[in-house]
Chains A and B, each alone.
Chain A
Amino acid sequence: MIEEIRQKAKELLAASKVDMVIGYRRSGDGVSTVPAFIDSAQDVDSLVWDQNCVYNLANYLREFPGKKIGVVAKGCDARAIVVLLQENQLERENLFIIGVECGVTDISEKCAACPRTVSAICDILIKEKGRKSGAPGNEKDAYAAVEALEARRAEERLGLWREEFSRCIRCYACRQVCPMCYCPKCVADQTMPAWFSKATSLEGNFAWNVTRAFHLAGRCVDCGECERACPVGIPLRDLNKKLEKEAKELYKYEAGSSVEAKPLFASYDKDDPKDFIK
């Protein structure tokens, strides 16, 4: 698979079809990977592909306006690209999406419950050889954690999130690692007015994490990067999954599935369910 990725990257760079290919290379520890920004065909051999390629590379695409970028995109990266295109953050003609099918044998922890392994959008799809049918995870498992939370009493849930958010150090790794968190001035950074406390107090931490979750409703593509990046282990994905589930059940909307679809918050139908408005 890696040979095909390198070959495609080389071809694109050599023919000047793209200015840069964003993929993965090995880090100094010999095991992990780091995002690679390759701008010369001679350097494509440093590209790698394995279960350590967990980052969502869609996060970098907005940083090169006007440039033609080739990007190695897993299923989740591609869904993020779809949302960014829906929200007019990227120019489709400036992207060459090298879709990669992921997760045959050895998948990273964050991918365990992911039912979607193929890019929703791509210019070429590189398939894993010898792949057995079926995805590594399935939809039923995907909502197991959310359903377990839903089954608990409200006070219990509050206690649980109190415990989790008390560890938040407000490093904003969740925001920075998220392709959907691109507000020019994040609500957390505003000072006039300061919408919520900058201090690492429980109330400030609650305000931050809950605000972020709501802003991702109908937009989060469940790449799991926020939870993976969180140094203190807050299960942020459970919050996002809950809102994903609501969007799906109430509006039959799945973020990142179609570039043509109107974003959930930009669409209105008179038959939309209203029972949650109290």
Chain B
Amino acid sequence: MKKTVKKEALIALIENLMKDHEVVSPVETAGKGVFYRKIDKAKDVYLGPAFAVEPVKKFFLHPSEWICGCNKEEGTASPCPVPADDKKRVIFGVRPCEARGLVLLDKIFAPDDPAGYQDTSYIDNRSRSVIVGLACSVPDRTCFCVSLDGSPVETRGMDAVLFDMGDNFIVEILTEKGKSILGSLPGTIDAGSEKALEAAKEKTKKLVVKTVKAPDSLDASFKSDYWKKVSLSCLSCGVCTYLCPTCHCFDLVEEERKKLRCYDGCAFPDFTLETSGENPRPTKKERYRQRVFHKFDYFKKNFGENLCVGCGRCIRFCPVKIDISEVAAGAPIK
């Protein structure tokens, strides 16, 4: 169901939603970029073309999350429940690549098979959230979603989506959850606007010019010196993994009787460092190879898809501009 909605009407709806929902949206921070924030003023909502630095992932897999703990009592160690956050939440402005990232994360943390590992915290975060996407209108030159089975105007993983048509948004409601939030917006759509929307979608798709030709399997390259060569410039920081909409490796740390699940990244030297001192991935070569294999090989073997949505963040923000699309495409597989 689609309707043409005035931008002011959407802001008024958000204002109203904040009464009984947590509302999250991209917010522009002067000189720093765009960041997702819990908002308390509807006018802070940023639905312009700039991409958020951090993907929406952090609202589902928290950068550091309290997963269990125990009370401090003399001579005892009684388990202490983790406070649950079950407030209904609406997240605006989620881009197609980020929403698709959630669909991929679902396969790990909330698989369809009930016998599979079900991550309670992730599932709670998913079920209390309504995702109102925002189709892209100005892809970045580092975006390459189209060649990874994605599109700047697709809607997988969203409950509703907004298309920016200048003065108005065209709102498309995709699920019951989406309807519960945006169903009350007045408006219809005429044939002319439908046509304009289709034309705009086609135009935007063509603006994604970067491509990646990742091989079906990287197996044959595993032992190649290629990985040493391409990882020489890697600085071993966490930018690519932390800002990736699909990277989900974590580490467990204990602090003040709490066990925390914190983001980890394969680029860090102590990633997979074992207590014995042994590290099966001792150099940048093995660690960088791990990232590329996880994205373009291992996940595909397990789930039939690449674990990369082509959002371009790891390229945009890499301090030394390593380009994973070039690296994956150039892997020697013969």
Contact = CB atoms under 8 A, between A and B. Distances in A.
Whether chains A and B associate is: yes
Interface of A: 27-29, 32-35, 37, 55, 59-60, 167, 169-173, 175-177, 189, 191, 194, 197-201, 225, 228-229, 231-233
Contacts of B111: none
Contacts of B260: 198-199
A110 B317 CA distance: 16
Contacts of A225: 319
B270 A189 contact: yes
Given A29-B141, A167-B35, A201-B64, 8 more contacts: A28-B325, A28-B326, A167-B32, A171-B238, A177-B237, A228-B319, A233-B29, A233-B33
Contact of B233 (A35, A194, A197, A199): A35
Contacts of B323: 27-29
A27 B323 CA distance: 8
Contact of B321 (A32, A175, A231): A32
Contacts of A170: 63, 238, 263
Contact of A198 (B142, B232, B253, B321): B253
B255 A229 contact: no
B253 A194 contact: yes
B191 interface: no
Contact of A175 (B237, B253, B322): B237
A169 B270 contact: no
A181 to B, nearest CB: 10
B235 interface: yes
A199 B255 contact: yes
Contacts of A194: 253, 255
Interface string B60-90: 0001100000000000000000000000000
B320 interface: yes
B319 A173 contact: yes
Closest 6 CB pairs of A and B: A171-B238, A199-B64, A229-B319, A233-B32, A176-B237, A176-B235
B233 A198 contact: no
A237 to B, nearest CB: 14
Interface size class of B (residues with CB under 8 A): 35 or more
25 contacts: A27-B321, A29-B142, A34-B320, A37-B232, A55-B319, A55-B320, A60-B233, A169-B238, A169-B243, A173-B237, A173-B239, A175-B237, A176-B237, A177-B235, A177-B320, A189-B270, A191-B253, A194-B255, A197-B255, A198-B251, A198-B253, A199-B64, A200-B63, A229-B237, A231-B239
B317 A231 contact: yes
B104 to A, nearest CB: 21
A61 to B, nearest CB: 12
Nearest to B283: A63
B54 A169 contact: yes
Interface in B234-252: 235-239, 242-243, 251
A200 B238 CA distance: 13
Contacts of A229: 235, 237, 239, 319
B33 A171 contact: no
A232 B319 contact: no
B31 interface: yes
B53 interface: yes
A60 B232 CA distance: 9
B262 interface: yes
A176 B322 CA distance: 15
Interface string B260-285: 10110100101000000000000000
A112 to B, nearest CB: 15
Contacts of B325: 28
A48 to B, nearest CB: 13
A201 to B, nearest CB: 7
A278 B242 CA distance: 41
A29 B323 CA distance: 9
A34 B236 CA distance: 15
Contacts of A33: 321
A231 B314 CA distance: 10
Given A167-B32, A199-B64, A35 B320 contact: yes
A34 B321 contact: yes
Contacts of A60: 232-233
B255 A198 contact: yes
Nearest to A184: B269
Contacts of B53: 231-232
A28 B209 CA distance: 13
B325 to A, nearest CB: 8
Interface in B181-232: 229, 232
A170 B253 CA distance: 15
Contacts of A173: 235, 237-239, 319
A200 B64 contact: yes
Nearest to A29: B141
Nearest to A25: B233
Interface in B280-318: 317
A233 B28 CA distance: 13
Contact of A35 (B33, B232, B263, B326): B232
A200 B237 CA distance: 16
Interface centre among B35, B263, B270, B320 (most CB of A within 10 A): B320
A231 B244 CA distance: 12
A191 B53 CA distance: 29
A201 B62 CA distance: 12
B241 to A, nearest CB: 8
